[in-house]
Amino acid sequence: MERRAVSAGDNIDSQCTRCKALLNHTIVAMVGTLVVRVKCNTCGSEHNHRPAKEAKEAREPKAAVTRSTAAKPARATAGRTKTPVLSDEAIWEEAIAPHDPDKAVPYSMNATFRSNTLVSHPTFGIGLVAATQAGKIEVVFKSGRKLLRTA
């Protein structure tokens, strides 16, 4: 080989760990003819010498590690469901279940209703009176709770 032997203080191309690029480095330490420690001329960091060819090979297992890390299930917490909130329809079904729909009282603004009775509304259908107030009733319908005027 006619290659000039390098020695400490010479410049050499090395893969900089900080700059993550093949850059000019100054040789800091050598073992025999082997360059072991280099100092980056760009960022000034000192690290083990990594020639271009070896750096490529060294990157392979790293990439595999990154891939397996990325494959980790990251949605473990995102997939957790909250306590299910009952839909209006589910609440309605449960409310009217113990009652006989045939006994539903037709809703009228001029009538009075007692709580826990079924009413039949021309628009909302069958509902259960959940609460009564002066001149108003709160009825659970399939489409949700409604306030209706009463006598």
The residues that touch Zn ion, with contacts defined as CB under 5 A, are 16, 18-19, 40, 42-43
- Specify the residue, 40 or 148, whose C-beta has the smaller distance to Zn ion: 40
User: C-beta of 83: minimal distance to Zn ion in Å?
Assistant: 53
User: C-beta of 54: minimal distance to Zn ion in Å?
Assistant: 17
- Specify the residue, 20 or 149, whose C-beta has the smaller distance to Zn ion: 20
- Specify the residue, 18 or 59, whose C-beta has the smaller distance to Zn ion: 18
User: C-beta of 52: minimal distance to Zn ion in Å?
Assistant: 14
Compute CA distances 16 → 28, 39, 40, 123, whole Å.
14, 9, 6, 75
Compute CA distances 15 → 33, 43, 63, 84, 132, whole Å.
19, 12, 16, 55, 80
